Amino acid sequence: MKLKFFKYQGTGNDFVIVDNRLDFFNKNDTKSIERLCDRRFGIGADGLILLENDKMSDFKMVYFNADGNESSMCGNGGRCLVAFAHYLGIVGDECTFNAIDGLHHATIEGSSVSLKMNDVEEIRETEVYSFLDTGSPHHVQLVSGLDDFDVYNEGKRIRYGLYGESGSNVNFVEQGDANGFLVRTYERGVENETLSCGTGVTAVALAMHNLGKARTNKVDVKTRGGSLSISFDHKNGKYTNISLKGPAVQVFKGELEW
């Protein structure tokens, strides 16, 4: 059969997206999903997303990492899926969808999508790094000389050495201005650096605010794929009303033998 697919990107974090409302896609075929994401033998992407029907919300998001395994929440992927649902005419300028970590509300303004993330009640701090879960687990570490930093090898070492087989995403951060940060991320499941990570930049914004490095409740984060904005409320150590905002763009669509 022929598989109709769409390619989207959010600040360089790219995804193969499939409309699976008819429930035809074999979600257990890990090898085929991995092949679709392969940049030489497939379409090429950081992950694959299925849009499915949902009784509780406008649609459901099912996300797979590039290694073919179903994964935790993906912020940029969620924003891209909202843009795709809008393209299909399923939703208007706002919607609610169901993901692996629960319901998310989103709004659309042109090519920009703002996605509400889940509350964060705990940030673990050490002398070297912060750790928190923003829908996916994230290690956040300040470094100097980010442009020349060995993200792949150091990220891989921390991902396995500190967090074991289940792993964590690893974010290396350098402060830009008073309320802006530069970030590079090693993503588990991709097992490499990606140009951007939505749950990662969200984790960075909250961790930097928690450390007193960010002074307001709106933080700008620049990745190698572009800039994202994170806003939030903070009270009694708890972060609520967290929103991740940035571009979500359709790159192309096509068909391939499946």
**What residue spans define the domains of the chain?**
2-117+248-257, 124-246
- Confidence band of 258 (pLDDT split at 50, 70, 90): confident
Q: Calculate mean pLDDT across residues 70-86.
A: 97
Q: What pTM was computed for the model?
A: 0.96
Q: Which CATH superfamily is domain 2-117+248-257 in?
A: Diaminopimelate Epimerase; Chain A, domain 1 (3.10.310.10)
Q: Calculate mean pLDDT across residues 249-258.
A: 94
Q: Are strands 47-52 and 13-19 parallel, antiparallel or unpaired?
A: parallel
Portion of the chain with pLDDT greater than 70, in percent:
100
User: Which amino acid, one-letter code, is at 205?
Assistant: A
Q: Is 217 annotated as a binding residue?
A: no
Angle at 195 between CA 242 and CA 46, to 5 degrees: 90
Q: Which of 37, 80, 95, 197 is catalytic?
A: 197
Q: Is 187 annotated as a binding residue?
A: yes
Q: Cα(13)–Cα(34) distance, rounded to whole angstroms?
A: 16
Q: Calculate mean pLDDT across residues 87-95.
A: 98
Per-residue pLDDT tens for 118-132? 999 999 999 999 999
Q: Provide the 8-state DSSP code for 78.
A: H
Q: Tell me, yes or no, if the two domains 2-117+248-257 and 124-246 fold the same way.
A: yes
Q: Cα(207)–Cα(188) distance, rounded to whole angstroms?
A: 19
Q: Is 13 annotated as a binding residue?
A: yes
Per-residue pLDDT tens for 18-70? 999 999 999 999 999 999 999 999 999 999 999 999 999 999 999 999 999 99
Q: pLDDT value at position 178?
A: 76
In CATH terms, the fold of domain 124-246 is Diaminopimelate Epimerase; Chain A, domain 1 (3.10.310)
Q: Which of 37, 74, 80, 95 is catalytic?
A: 74
Per-residue pLDDT tens for 201-246? 999 999 999 999 999 999 999 999 999 999 999 999 999 999 999 9
Quick check: is 95 catalytic? no
Six token digits for residue 202: 């969200």
Q: Is 199 annotated as a binding residue?
A: yes
Q: Is 76 annotated as a binding residue?
A: yes
Quick check: is 74 catalytic? yes
Q: pLDDT value at position 194?
A: 98
Residue 33 CA, chain-centre distance (Å), reads: 18
